Amino acid sequence: MTTTSDEPRFLTLETPGVPVKAWIDGVPIEKDAELQLRKTAMLPFVHSHLAVMPDVHVGVGATVGTVIPTKGAIVPAAVGVDIGCGMIATRTSLVASDLPDSLSNVRSAIEKAVPHGRADFTSGTKGLPSNNAKVWRDVLEPRWKTIAKKHPKIAKGSTAEQLGTLGGGNHFVEICLDESQRVWIVLHSGSRGVGNRTGKYFIEIARREMERLEVRLPDYDLAYLEEGTGHFEDYREAVGWAQDYAAWNRRLMMEATLRALKQSGEIAKNFTCDEDAVNCHHNYVAREEHFGAEVWVTRKGAVRAGLGELGIIPGSMGAKSFIVRGKGNPESFCSCSHGAGRKMSRSAAKRAFTVDDHRRATEGVECRKDDGVIDETPMAYKDIDAVMAAQSDLVEIVHTLKQVVCVKG
Residue 180 sits in a domain of what CATH number?
3.90.1860.10
Q: Confirm whether 366 is domain-assigned.
A: no
CA distances from 132 to 84, 119, 168, 242, 306 (A): 18, 16, 20, 16, 31
Rounded to whole angstroms, the Cα distance separating 359 from 379 reads 11
pLDDT of 277 strictly over 70: yes
Q: Confirm whether 244 is domain-assigned.
A: yes
Phi, psi of 324, rounded to the nearest 5 degrees: -125, 160
408 among annotated binding-site residues: yes
Q: What integer is the mean pLDDT of 142-161?
A: 95
CA 170 to mean position of chain CA atoms = 9
Per-residue pLDDT band at 287 (split at 50, 70, 90): very high
Category of 165 on φ-ψ map: left (φ > 0), alpha (ψ -120 to 50) or beta? beta
Can you give the pLDDT at residue 343? 87
Can you give the pLDDT at residue 38? 95
Q: Confirm whether 374 is domain-assigned.
A: no
Per-residue pLDDT band at 119 (split at 50, 70, 90): low
Q: What integer is the mean pLDDT of 76-104?
A: 96
188 among annotated binding-site residues: yes
Can you give the pLDDT at residue 139? 97
**Number of CB atoms found within 10 A of residue 112's CB:** 12
Per-residue pLDDT band at 111 (split at 50, 70, 90): very high
Can you give the pLDDT at residue 3? 43
**What is the DSSP track for 247-294?**
HHHHHHHHHHHHHHHHHSSSS-TT--B-SS-EEEESEEEEEEEETTEE
Rounded to whole angstroms, the Cα distance separating 314 from 341 reads 10
Q: What integer is the mean pLDDT of 2-29?
A: 80
Question: Smallest Cα–Cα separation from 256: which of 312, 323, 182, 173?
Answer: 173
Q: What integer is the mean pLDDT of 120-141?
A: 78
317 among annotated binding-site residues: yes
Q: Is 151 a catalytic residue?
A: no
CB 100 within 8 A of CB 108: no
Rounded to whole angstroms, the Cα distance separating 112 from 279 reads 23
pTM of the complete model: 0.94
pLDDT of 56 strictly over 50: yes
From 290, 338, 358, 399, the catalytic residue: 338
282 among annotated binding-site residues: yes
**What is the DSSP track for 122-165?**
TTGGGGS-HHHHHHIIIIIHHHHHHHHHH-HHHHSS-SGGGTT-
376 among annotated binding-site residues: no
Task: Give me the domain span that covers residue 272.
Answer: 2-343+381-408
Per-residue pLDDT band at 7 (split at 50, 70, 90): low
DSSP state of 35: H
* Enclosing H/E stretch for 108: helix 104-113
100 among annotated binding-site residues: no
Q: Confirm whether 10 is domain-assigned.
A: yes
In the chain, the percentage of residues whose pLDDT exceeds 70 is 96
131 among annotated binding-site residues: no
CA distances from 272 to 92, 184, 262, 267 (A): 6, 11, 10, 12
Can you give the pLDDT at residue 317? 83
CB 404 within 8 A of CB 365: yes
Q: Confirm whether 233 is domain-assigned.
A: yes
**Which residues are 339's β-sheet partners?**
none
**What is the DSSP track for 316-340?**
-TTSEEEEEEE---GGGTSEEESSS
Can you give the pLDDT at residue 2? 45
Q: Confirm whether 72 is domain-assigned.
A: yes
**Number of separate domains in the chain:** 1
